[in-house]
Every structure is written in structure tokens, then in C-alpha cells.
Structure 1
């Protein structure tokens, strides 16, 4: 692999162009870059305490009324972000799977089909979320890319 950096002071923003012999290699590089440019730590709240957690510890985010909860394997926290804001800030491993849920695709243990939706179980946790049919195809693609 060749790496070339060109400095151009007239640019307003950094631009990365990937020239690759296959889609797989380009996609792999793209995902690595996405992970580095997105939010890595998130300020969360439980009772009167602020916690600073790595986003890799989070299984999923869900709405309950106006409150957004972030769930880890053991605990749940609240955040002041809205789901649409989290979608923009979180790394590529997170994706929206329903109107009220964003999940970490790297923490999925199993996916079970039911009549109108799909049930996701997470690694080392009893917690579960449902994926709507609208988002199932994209989730399935992400999981297959992970192999």
C-alpha cells in the first residue's frame, strides 16, 4: 500500500481520496478513517454523576419519551443528545435500527426473526432490542461485512 500526503493551504477542509484495486480494501480503509474522525468518548449521566464512557462500551441508545438512554451490558445512562445528533456523531459501527433505537453492530450476538420485526441479543448481556423491517436489510449487510 502506498500513502501520499499533499499539503494544500488553500483548502478549507481535509479531503481523503482512496484509490484501491477492490471495493473491500477501499471499504476497510474508509471504515478505519470513520472510526478515527467520529466521537470516541461520550458524557453520560446516572443520577447526579457524570460518566465519560468510550462509545465502544455502549450496546445501544433508545428513546423513552423525551429522554435518550445509553445502555451498556450492566447499566443504563442518560444523555443530552438526541438520536439524530448521535447518528451524526457516532462511529460507523452504530446504526439506526428503528425510529427509537441506534445500536452498536459490533456488540450483536444474535438476530432472531419474528412476525413483524427482528430481535437483537447482545454479547454478555440480557438486554435486547427490536429492529424494524425497514432497517433489517442494511443491518444484515453490515453484519455480513463484519465476517
Structure 2
């Protein structure tokens, strides 16, 4: 399990000591900094880039709620657990997408549950960022005297044809002299070599049909097909459902 970085923001020293003691018992969480007010918390977020922040609300100067609003603008993936002696701020806390709201005195089990909730929120946020990145990611491909920049997520499959390599999208085909292996090295993990002459975007497959000694991969809103060898079909089926 990935170890997540945690910061603690609380103006009360004994409260920070209690949180540090509990966090030392949880091996999947590592403290990377402490703050005594909202301003220090913002500086910690910028410099330490934690995954989770344990934040008291009533702090001098900039309070916890105000600081978290600023922190969320700078670090949207940050998961916040408010730790406070008052319950009247719960609605405001969840307005800033807090992972949890824990009332003092804090118990170890309650803190652990809050951390696990924050972990799930962090993983969802991380996946969302990765999907957004993949959707806009481009690769550079040489095509005769032109350098093409193709959006990775629009590629259905890449096919080797004689001495050329053809990259297929829903509406276009792009020829290149680069080899399948050279292109494969630039692609994310959801592209898979299904046949000695085909690399396929597994995310785009809508169905697979047997055709003699081989299999055909079909794609949405497209008449093009890619080949899957008999030796690779079980691997492909496994990857599609996992």
C-alpha cells in the first residue's frame, strides 16, 4: 500500500502530540510537517505537497476553514480531515469537500477510519487526474517529411503493413516508417500487442469475435478491425475485465 504524506495544523501543542502519537502507529501514513496556524498550513501545502492534512478549525489569524479553501485552490487533490472540539462547523467543512470531520477528544480508531476515508478520496482524485492527462496526452510520429502529433486516446490500433506502420483512429489513417516497437515504447500501458502485426488500445474494444484461427477486435462507430492471435486472446480477455 502506498504511504501517504500527512501534515498537522493545530495551534494546541498537546493536540498535535496526540495526533503524532496515533499517526506513528499507522505505518501507511507519514508526517511531513506541522503548522500552528492557517498561514503556516498554506506554506506547508506548497512546499511539502502532502496528500492529507489534519486541520483544526479554531486557529489564530487565518482559521482552518479559510486556510483550507486557499489550499484546495492550489492543491485540488489534497484530502482534508478537520479535527476540532466543535461540531457547529461541520456543514462549512463539507462545503470545502472535507474527507471527514472528527470531534475532539480524538480516538485512535476514529482517526484511522477518517484516514482511510481520506485515502479513498485521494485515490479517486489521483485517478481522475491521470484520466484527464491520458485524454490529452500526445505522441509525436514521423510521417514522411512531417512530424504528426496524435492524441493518444484517439488511437484505436497500430498495424504493421509491409514496410510501413499504419496508425488508425476512428476517421483517419496515418502512415509512418517507425516500427511497431518504437511506437509501443511511447504508449501508455492500456495499449497491448495483440498480434505480431497489431498493437491495440484496449480501452476502445467493444467486442471480440472468433475468425478461423484468429480473433477480430471491433471498435465503437468504426468498421475497422484489429487482429488478436490465438496465443494472446486469453491475456487480452483478462486485461479487459481487470
Q: TM-score, normalised by structure 1?
A: 0.68
- Report SS of the residue matched to 1:141: helix
- Would the aligned equivalents of 2:165 and 2:180 in 1 still touch at CA under 8 Å? yes
Change (3 A) 1:80 1:46: closer
In 2: Cα distance, 1:50 partner to 1:75 partner? 16
- Partner of 1:75 in structure 2? 172
Do the aligned partners of 1:61 and 1:102 also contact (CA within 8 Å) in 2?
yes
Is 1:142 matched up with 2:142?
Answer: no
SS of the residue 2:4 aligns to:
coil
Any conservation in 2 of the 1:108–1:121 contact (CA below 8 Å)?
A: yes
- Report the Cα offset of residue 45 of structure 1: 5.9
Higher alpha-carbon Rg? 2
Contact between 1:44 and 1:53, CA under 8 Å: does it hold in 2?
yes
Aligned 8 A contact 1:46 1:76 in 2: no
Alignment of 1:13-28 (within 5 A): none
- Displacement after TM superposition at 1:81 (Å): 2.7
Return the match for 1:121 from 205, 215, 218: 218
**CA distance in structure 1 between the aligned counterparts of 2:222 and 2:236, rounded to whole angstroms:** 20
Number of aligned residues: 122
* Contact 1:34/1:91 (8 A) holds in 2: no
Sort the Cα spacing of 1:82 and 1:125 in 2 relative to 1 into closer, same or farther, 3 A. Answer: same
Q: Which has the higher helix share?
A: 2
| 2:4 corresponding residue in structure 1 | 3
Work out the CA distance in 1 between the residues paired with 2:176 and 2:130: 22
Q: Who is 2:155 aligned against?
A: 58
CA–CA distance in structure 2, aligned partners of residues 64 and 118 of structure 1: 18
Q: Distance in 2 between matches of 1:2 and 1:63?
A: 42
Deviations 1:15-70 (A, max 9, x none): xxxxxxxxxx9xx99xx699869xx3123466765431111100000111111110
**Secondary structure in structure 1 of the residue aligned to 2:170:** coil
Please provide the CA RMSD for this pair: 3.3
CA shift for structure 1 position 124: 1.4
Alignment of 1:101-120 (within 5 A): 101-120=198-217
Unaligned runs of 5+ in 2: 7-29, 31-119
5+ residue gaps, structure 1: 7-24
- CA distance, structure 2, for counterparts of residue 42 and residue 82 of structure 1: 14
